[in-house]
């Protein structure tokens, strides 16, 4: 989705009684007042942007790319080969395509290949933001023929043998990425399909956002990121932002 207004689409009006109660503590105000999710996603964090098919994961990640570019940072996006990025939509959202590096990881490398590529790039210290798209649907379950030992299978001459994508296990890879984010002061953004009812990727995640998309008119949507986790900070609400859908979306 493209940015049409970098502001909240809803503002609560305070009545006279509410103004009279404005002497509440600063801590209470920090919990109640919405903040831009971009400001919550400070450099040096491992950030998870999660949600199912109806979530606005890409919209949220693209906004973070745009913010990093405004700060003069080089950005990189790592996705499976044939991933969902569409350059015209990125350009329409204000992303400088010349300053965005997109890396396609072969399907058989799986999420482990994406994480490994991110680690190698971040070790250079040359990137201010790195997006890892781990939100691709899981591969189909193996059928009975896949249980046959490879040596007993008959493979016709000239036919390639595909291996199963390698998954990610444990939290060591997250610890490495989080450490690199802190060491180089960069944002590491991981896109997942986890629902709000499931735990975050792991304890190394400093901020977890679950953006929800709500239709507000013909081609207009409000993106409302729910802050599910904000390590080491007081609870905050993220302000909604109004977005225009891709051209042709009614």
Q: How far is CA 125 from CA 41, 119, 122, 183, 187, in A?
A: 19, 10, 5, 8, 12
Cα radius of gyration rounded to whole Å, the chain? 21
CB contact set of 100 (below 8 Å; sequence gap of 6+) = 65, 69, 75, 76, 77, 90
3-state secondary structure of 196: coil
Q: pLDDT of the chain along its 250 residues, tens only?
A: 443 333 333 333 334 444 344 434 334 444 445 667 777 888 999 999 998 766 788 888 999 999 999 999 999 999 999 898 988 889 988 999 999 999 999 999 999 999 999 999 999 999 999 999 998 765 555 444 445 555 554 545 554 444 445 667 778 999 999 999 999 999 999 999 888 777 778 889 999 988 877 666 676 766 777 888 888 776 666 666 656 665 544 4
Structural domains of the chain in order of their starting residue, each with its CATH number: 2-7+36-137+164-244 (3.40.50.300)
DSSP 156-191: -TTPPPPPPPP---SSHHHHHHHHHHHHHT-EEEEE
Q: From CA 227, how far away is CA 208, in angstroms rounded? A: 6
pLDDT, residue 228, reads: 85
Dihedrals phi, psi of 15, to nearest 5 degrees: -80, 175
User: Are residues 26 and 90 in contact, defined by beta-carbon separation less than 8 angstroms?
Assistant: no
* pLDDT for 70: 94
Closest CA to 238 of 14, 16, 3, 32: 32
């Amino acid at each position: 989705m493209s940015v049409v207004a970098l502001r909240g689409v809803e503002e609560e009006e305070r009545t006279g009684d509410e103004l009279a109660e404005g002497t509440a503590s600063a801590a209470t105000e920090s919990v109640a007042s919405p903040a831009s999710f971009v400001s919550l996603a400070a450099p040096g964090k491992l950030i998870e942007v999660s949600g199912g098919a109806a979530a606005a994961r890409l919209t949220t990640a693209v906004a973070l790319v745009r913010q990093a570019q405004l700060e003069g940072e080089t950005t990189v996006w790592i996705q499976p080969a044939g991933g969902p990025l569409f350059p015209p939509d990125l350009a329409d959202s204000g992303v400088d395509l010349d300053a965005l590096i997109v890396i396609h990881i072969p399907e058989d490398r799986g999420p482990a290949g994406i994480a490994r590529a991110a680690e190698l790039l971040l070790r250079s210290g040359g990137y201010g933001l790195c997006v890892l798209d781990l939100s691709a649907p899981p591969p189909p379950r193996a059928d009975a023929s896949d249980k046959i030992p490879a040596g007993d299978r008959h493979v016709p001459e000239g036919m390639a043998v595909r291996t199963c994508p390698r998954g990610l296990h444990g939290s060591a890879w997250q610890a490495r990425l989080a450490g690199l984010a802190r060491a180089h002061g960069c944002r590491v953004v991981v896109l997942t399909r986890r629902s709000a009812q499931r735990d975050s990727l792991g304890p190394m995640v400093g901020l977890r956002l679950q953006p929800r998309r709500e239709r507000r008119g013909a081609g207009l949507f409000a993106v409302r990121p729910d802050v599910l986790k904000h390590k080491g900070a007081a609870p905050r609400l993220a302000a909604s932002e109004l977005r225009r859908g891709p051209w042709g979306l009614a």
